[in-house]
Homo-oligomer: A and B are copies of this chain.
Amino acid sequence: MLIAEDMLPKVLSGGQALQDWEASSSLGYYETVLRRDAAIPSEPDAVFVLLEGWACGYKILRDGERQICSIHVAGDGPDFRKLFLPAAELEFRTLTPCRTGIISAAGLRELCRQSDTVANAVVKHIAVSAAISEEWIANIGRRRAINRVAHLICELACRLDAARGASQSRYAIPLTQADLGDATGLSTVHVNRVLQELRARGLVEFAAGQLVIPDRRQLAQLAGFDPRYLHLALPHVNFA
């Protein structure tokens, strides 16, 4: 089992390790394909790995409002918490067509027991998610709309950079303005106005799922963005 500690999710997303493991184990693993905007079913004794595509975790409040609590890209294990907790409180839904790997919880727990490396990767994954959640709390609780949206954009760009191993200035981000609002605690209408303001300032262009960031430094400055909380593997992908 030769998986670098940080890389389990990435390796999982290649499917290699999982399929090897499936072959050497009697415990369950299978993959599914989901269309865009589909609920990701929660199986009681299994967790999933996002192998391809984007997804989000969210809660619906009593009055029907939705709050997106997490955004996930290929390599993430959005509900790994379920390995250690009796239930998950988030619902998950695809933002693009997705491929997911469904792993028996007992099986992955067993794998964790056998391999410190895997165990560390899984727990680290949970820990990083928690760090991101706390950053979101600060973002939503204490920043103005424009800084808030800018911050989320910085985070997504940074995570994509890390996935590709290099900084870019153009990103494919499959979020609607309504999604951005649900993630930042704003109304769709206000997100629209904020995006116009960001474009007017020459900081962000976002249309048709294509995000362009002419000047990262300035955007990060506006957002008060410090990427350390993401605990990315690549220290050189530094935004600010």
Contact = CB atoms under 8 A, between A and B. Distances in A.
Interface of A: 57, 59, 61-63, 65-67, 69-70, 81, 84-87, 89-90, 113, 116, 119-120, 123-124, 126-131, 133-138, 140-143, 184-185, 224, 228-229, 231
A126 B62 CA distance: 27
Contacts of A67: 137-138, 141-142
A158 to B, nearest CB: 15
A73 to B, nearest CB: 18
A165 B50 CA distance: 39
A40 B96 CA distance: 43
Contacts of A66: 142
Q: Is the interface of A mostly helix, strand, loop or mixed?
A: helix
B69 A231 contact: no
7 A-B pairs closest in CB distance: A141-B185, A133-B133, A130-B130, A67-B138, A69-B134, A62-B224, A81-B127
A65 B143 CA distance: 9
Given A85-B231, A89-B134, A141-B185, 15 more contacts: A59-B135, A59-B138, A61-B142, A61-B143, A66-B142, A69-B134, A81-B127, A84-B124, A113-B116, A123-B123, A129-B130, A133-B134, A133-B137, A137-B137, A142-B185
